[in-house]
């Protein structure tokens, strides 16, 4: 690795660690002297249902399929693109043509050649038609040219400045055309036994137990991968995962698979390492949302009062045990290009909150009570239910009585997105590296769509904001686009249809023997081609 990138990575890590108060020696998973051989045992939180990330963007699928199938690029620790199947790419100044040079000599695991036709097929038949956010990301692509088998040119109806942020193996996974063309992609049997171009070849999937991958001897990066293979093990009980890591049955637990209360015992222990940048690409935010159709939440002052009553720093400490950052707005701070901190903030101020509620006409009665609200969240993620409890206690202090409703996940989705039957809800959401795709959808009037999860279900509608977001989506001038997205953040922070609470960190806890040459901002979806296990001491 170049010294410069190393320093940069070290600086980022150092920053993340200071925020956590971690011992830096404990967090370094980067190594210098790779060792060959051995099987790596990886634990992820939940067993995936398929292994095709091009049609289903559930995290757990990507955590496995990224080892088998490639994207055009991957992302480094700063979320800058690193060549994968694309070696070079170019955007014309008007933003309407994007061309990719593809890597030569790449073979699918079944021996067929990888060419531009595979990319074209996946783009047209899978990303544009079936991928959950690919339909927006690649929506402007109207024509595809293949001047030679290793070059592909996309012609766009309007600039799509966000597109380049979605071409890794998680955002736009490339499938083999010869196995998918003319089939029902969603039910193709290769979704469960993928054939890719990645460093590891799929071997077996024993449902409820594990998935085994073995080294691809013909991988396009000479000499890689270092490992002989990877076994992804499914351990449903969080406490049992902790023991499996301690007993050495598992080497790496990715994607915050361990309960936060257990991570402490791996800190400051030379036998373990903790990485907190693997999930930066997802840019996750935990938030509290208001149903602005319902009184009294339709009044901006009431929402602002609630914002002033919640101590986010305390929430971060109590619920997330410090694994995260206080959120300041709809664009997470890890999206450094567009993040604007100079927006209206709501520090803890109970008096101001009370004043705002008084002004709005909701005076406290003799017993100090003002009104009652229902709060909805899904059971299953312990941080979500604890956050709901935290909010209930915080709002009691300003005379708002909160009734918690915590059904199972499917019922939560129904109540929140189909019935719109809630006053407040809290959850967490991946905001992704570009606001146009990740953030616009929760504020945009056109995206108020009954029955569809993760749309604008607060009911918030602001024509002025709509215009700004639509302009930012097609703005080819980067500086102007930044300015538009800044204004967008300011408007949202003033109106607070959604109160952003915490930016949780995704932590990967591993044995200190687990090393990688380079850290990645999309490390959850790393191919592990450059990973190895140091011998036991």
Partner 1 sequence: MTGSQAAVVFRFLRRRVWQVAPVVFGIAMLNFLILQLAPGDVVDVLAGEAGAATPEYMARLRVHFGLDKPVWVQLAYYLKNTLMLDLGFSFRQNMPVLTLIMERLPATLLLMTTAMGVAVAAGLALGVLSARFVHRAVDRVISVFVLITYALPTFWLGLMAIVLFSARLGWLPSSGMTDIGVKLDGFAYLRDVARHIVLPALTLATFYLAVYAKLVRAAMLEYFGADFIRTARAKGATETRITLFHALRNALLPLMTLLGLQLGSILSGAVLVESVFSWPGLGRLAFESILARDFNLLLGILLFSSVMVTLLNICVDAVYALLDPRIEL
Residues lying near partner 1 in the complex (CB under 8 A) are found at 39, 41, 49-50, 56-58, 130, 132-133, 135, 186-187, 191-192, 206-210, 212, 231, 233-237, 239-240, 243-244, 246-247, 249, 380, 407-411, 413-415, 417-418, 429-430, 441, 449, 451-454
Max Cα distance, the chain (Å): 78
Cβ nearer to partner 1, comparing 47 with 530? 47
What's CA 441's distance to the chain center, in Å? 15
Cβ nearer to partner 1, comparing 95 with 433? 433
Q: At what angle do helices 350-359 and 300-309 cross, to 10 degrees?
A: 160
Q: Length of the chain in residues, anyone? A: 537
String of b and e for 316-341 (b: at least 16 CB within 10 Å)? beebbbbbbbbbbbbbbbbbeebbbe
Q: Cβ 79 to partner 1, closest distance in Å?
A: 18
Q: Which residues contact 344 (CB under 8 A, 6 or more apart)?
A: 490, 493, 494
Q: Cβ 280 to partner 1, closest distance in Å?
A: 17
Q: How far apart are CA 322 and CA 505, in angstroms?
A: 9
Q: Cβ 239 to partner 1, closest distance in Å?
A: 5
Q: How far apart are CA 414 and CA 453, in angstroms?
A: 9
Which residues are bridge partners to 201 per DSSP?
214
Q: Cβ 43 to partner 1, closest distance in Å?
A: 10
Cβ nearer to partner 1, comparing 26 with 53? 53
Q: Cβ 403 to partner 1, closest distance in Å?
A: 18
Tell me if 176 sits within 8 A of 201, measured CB to CB: no
Q: Cβ 131 to partner 1, closest distance in Å?
A: 9
Q: Cβ 97 to partner 1, closest distance in Å?
A: 27
Cβ nearer to partner 1, comparing 11 with 239? 239
The DSSP output letter for 227 is: S
CA 146, 148, 154: angle at the middle one, nearest 5? 25
Q: Where are the beta strands (DSSP E) in 327-441?
A: 371-376, 400-405, 424-430
Tell me if 497 sits within 8 A of 443, measured CB to CB: yes
Cβ nearer to partner 1, comparing 75 with 346? 75
Q: Cβ 50 to partner 1, closest distance in Å?
A: 6
Cβ nearer to partner 1, comparing 42 with 91? 42
Cβ nearer to partner 1, comparing 5 with 411? 411
For residue 260, report the phi and psi dihedrals to the nearest 5 degrees. Answer: -55, -30
Cβ nearer to partner 1, comparing 417 with 532? 417
The sign of the CA dihedral 506, 63, 378, 297 is positive
Q: Cβ 427 to partner 1, closest distance in Å?
A: 10
* Paired tokens of 102: 């593809």
Q: At what angle do helices 300-309 and 382-396 cross, to 10 degrees?
A: 100
Secondary structure of residue 157 in the 3-state scheme: coil
Q: Cβ 129 to partner 1, closest distance in Å?
A: 9
Cβ nearer to partner 1, comparing 266 with 417? 417
* Paired tokens of 359: 């002004």
Q: How far apart are CA 317 and CA 315, in angstroms?
A: 5
Cα–Cα nearest to 338, from 448, 464, 480, 155: 480
The DSSP output letter for 408 is: -
Tell me if 303 sits within 8 A of 529, measured CB to CB: no
Cβ nearer to partner 1, comparing 209 with 298? 209
Cβ nearer to partner 1, comparing 307 with 473? 473
Helices then strands, counting H and E runs in the chain, come out as 16, 21
* Paired tokens of 101: 């040079």
Q: Cβ 513 to partner 1, closest distance in Å?
A: 16
Q: Cβ 194 to partner 1, closest distance in Å?
A: 13
Cβ nearer to partner 1, comparing 392 with 430? 430
Q: At what angle do helices 478-495 and 300-309 cross, to 10 degrees?
A: 90
Q: Cβ 182 to partner 1, closest distance in Å?
A: 18
Q: How far apart are CA 427 and CA 285, in angstroms?
A: 9
Cβ nearer to partner 1, comparing 166 with 346? 166
Q: How far apart are CA 203 and CA 211, in angstroms?
A: 8
């Amino acid at each position: 690795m170049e010294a410069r990138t190393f320093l940069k990575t070290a600086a980022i890590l150092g920053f993340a660690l200071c925020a956590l108060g971690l011992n830096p020696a404990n967090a370094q998973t980067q190594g210098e002297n790779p060792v060959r051989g051995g099987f790596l045992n990886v634990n992820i939180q939940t067993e995936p249902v398929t292994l095709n990330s091009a049609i289903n963007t559930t995290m757990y699928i990507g955590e496995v399929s990224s080892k088998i199938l490639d994207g055009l690029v991957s992302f480094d620790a700063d979320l800058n693109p690193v060549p994968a199947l694309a070696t070079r790419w170019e955007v014309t100044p008007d933003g309407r043509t994007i061309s990719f040079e593809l890597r030569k000599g790449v073979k699918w695991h079944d021996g067929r050649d990888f060419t531009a036709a595979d990319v074209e097929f996946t783009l047209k038949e899978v990303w544009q038609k079936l991928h959950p956010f690919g339909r927006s990301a690649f929506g402007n692509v109207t024509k595809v040219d293949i001047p030679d088998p290793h070059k592909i040119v996309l012609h766009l109806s309007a600039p799509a400045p966000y597109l380049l942020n979605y071409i890794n193996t998680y955002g736009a996974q490339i499938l083999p055309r010869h196995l998918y063309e003319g089939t029902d992609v969603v039910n193709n049997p290769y979704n469960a036994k993928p054939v890719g171009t990645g460093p590891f070849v799929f071997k077996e999937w024993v449902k409820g137990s594990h998935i085994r991958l073995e080294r691809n001897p013909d991988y396009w990066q000479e000499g890689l991968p270092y490992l002989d293979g990877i076994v992804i093990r499914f351990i449903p009980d969080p406490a049992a995962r902790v023991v499996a890591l301690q007993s050495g049955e598992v080497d790496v637990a990715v994607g915050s698979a361990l309960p936060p209360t257990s991570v402490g015992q791996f800190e400051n222990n030379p036998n373990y390492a903790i990485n907190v940048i693997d999930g930066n690409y997802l840019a996750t935010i935990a938030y509290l949302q208001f149903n602005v159709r319902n009184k009294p939440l339709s009044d901006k002052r009431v929402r602002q009062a609630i914002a002033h009553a919640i101590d986010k720093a305390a929430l971060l400490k109590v619920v997330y045990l410090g694994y995260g950052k206080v959120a300041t707005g709809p664009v997470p701070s890890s999206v450094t290009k567009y993040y604007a901190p100079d927006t209206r903030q709501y520090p803890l101020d109970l008096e101001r909150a009370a004043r705002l509620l008084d002004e709005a006409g909701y005076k406290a009665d003799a017993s100090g009570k003002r009104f009652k609200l229902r709060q909805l969240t899904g059971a299953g993620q312990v941080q979500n239910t604890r956050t709901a409890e935290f909010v209930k206690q915080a709002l009691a202090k300003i005379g708002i009585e909160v009734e918690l409703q915590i059904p199972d996940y499917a019922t939560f989705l129904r109540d929140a997105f189909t019935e719109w039957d809630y006053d407040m809800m809290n959850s967490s959401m991946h905001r992704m590296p570009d606001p146009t795709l990740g953030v616009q959808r929760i504020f945009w009037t056109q995206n108020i769509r009954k029955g569809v999860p993760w749309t604008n279900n607060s009911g918030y509608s602001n024509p002025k904001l709509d215009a700004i977001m639509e302009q930012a989506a097609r703005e080819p001038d980067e500086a102007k686009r930044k300015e538009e997205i800044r204004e967008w953040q300011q408007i949202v922070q003033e109106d607070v249809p959604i109160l952003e609470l915490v930016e949780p960190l995704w932590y990967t806890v591993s044995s200190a023997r687990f090393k990688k040459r380079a850290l990645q901002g999309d490390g959850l979806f790393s191919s592990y081609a450059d990973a190895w296990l140091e011998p036991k001491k």
